[in-house]
Amino acid sequence: MANTHTGNTAQSETLSANPVVVVQGIGQLGRSFLREVGAMFWFIAHTLDETIDRIRQGRVPFRAASFFEHTERAGVESVPLVGLVSFFLGLTMALLTGYQLARFGTERLVPGLVAIGFTRELGPLLTGIMLAARIGAAFTAELGTMKVSEEVEAIEAMGIGPLRFLVAPRMLALFFLMPCLSTISNIAAIFASSLVCRAYFNMAFVYFIDLVRDALLIRDIVTGILKSLMFGLIIGGIACYRGLSVRGGAAGVGTSTTSSVVTAITVVIGVDTLYNTIYTVFFPT
């Protein structure tokens, strides 16, 4: 009896303390979130600043070889992955929607559906997620290891700006490659859906192409490309920022790499949603 009584008091005490704890927790979360966003913003701003400063001195900000090395790794080597995943997704999308639409005899909507779906939304999003996992992780681990082994500090100590030297070529490579990769993703998906349309819904390739061209607007393509550019910057920024803020040896590199991938994917999806919301509010239909 006495036990129950004290148990109740303890429970009511934790209950009464709860709102404060919850608010505190939210406050702390909010604060660390804002701090991260702020740090990330300044990180990108400082990188830009260092790079522009260097250009103003009349020198190239980084060697072309360094830039192309990253584009090769981030871009060319990602083509098979991005192409294959988009191809399979295009197949699935065409199949699933095709069978549903066939019941109403409107399967000729499939080409347009896949084309618009991919150029506006899935192409950039899928590519973003894959690049965050594949390249974001690599960048973070690479820069993190450099940071831990004092290489970054050594670069700084020589009087070379590490942001310009290490971060700028990586971010720029991702920035320019994202649109290319998402275009490849679009093409792979549309090609896959054309195969499905040919095999199951008896659509000739020429007819398929006509339907795609009818459905696609320049606006859809531009939206997709703008999104890709933005995602490239976000993934590059987060990956490099996490890499250079690694603390505490090998374990730190691991933690930062995981956090880099998770953050980049979450932010990419979040920004995508925000972008779509704003876009549909200002440019309906």
Partner 1 sequence: MSAPPTHVAELRDVYMQFDEKKVLDGVSLLVNPLDRLVIMGQSGSGKSTILRLILGILPPNAGSIFFKQFEITRLQRRKLQQVRRHIGMVYQYSALLSSRTVRDNVALPLEELTDMSREEIDEIVDAKLDLVGMKDSRDSMPSELSGGMKKRVSLARALVMEPELILFDEPVAGLDPVIASVIDELIISLTEKSQVTSIIVTHEMDSAFRIGTRMAMLYQGKIIEDAPPDQFKQSNNPVVAQFLSGSTEGPILEGSQDAITTK
CB of 229 to partner 1, least distance (A): 28
Whose Cβ is closer to partner 1: residue 110's or residue 146's? 146
Give the residue with the Cβ less far from partner 1, 50 or 107. Answer: 50
Beta strands in the chain (DSSP E): none
CA distance 194 to 211: 11
Residues engaged in binding partner 1 (CB under 8 A): 50, 53, 63, 145-146, 149-151, 153-161, 165
Helix axes 249-282, 123-131, angle to 10 degrees: 170
How far apart, in whole angstroms, are the C-alpha atoms of residue 86 and residue 224? 15
Judged by CB, which is closer to partner 1: 17, or 45? 45
Please identify, using beta-carbon distances, which residue of 54 and 108 lies nearer to partner 1. Answer: 54
CA angle 174, 161, 159 (to 5 degrees): 155
- Give the shortest CB-155-to-partner 1 separation in angstroms: 8
CB of 251 to partner 1, least distance (A): 18
Q: Which is nearer to partner 1, 57 or 202 (CB)?
A: 57
Q: State the CB neighbour count (10 A cutoff) for residue 2.
A: 6
3-state secondary structure 111-141: HHHHHHHHHHHHHHHHHHHHHHHHHHHHHHH
What CA–CA distance (Å, rounded) separates 251 from 233?
27
Q: Which is nearer to partner 1, 155 or 221 (CB)?
A: 155
Nearest approach, Cβ of residue 194 and partner 1 (Å):
43
Bin 248: left if φ > 0, else alpha if -120 < ψ < 50, else beta: left
Residue 172 Cβ vs partner 1, minimum distance, rounded to whole Å: 17
Q: 1 by DSSP, 3-state: which? A: coil
The three-class DSSP label of residue 248 is coil
Question: Residue 86 and residue 115: Cα distance in Å, rounded?
Answer: 12
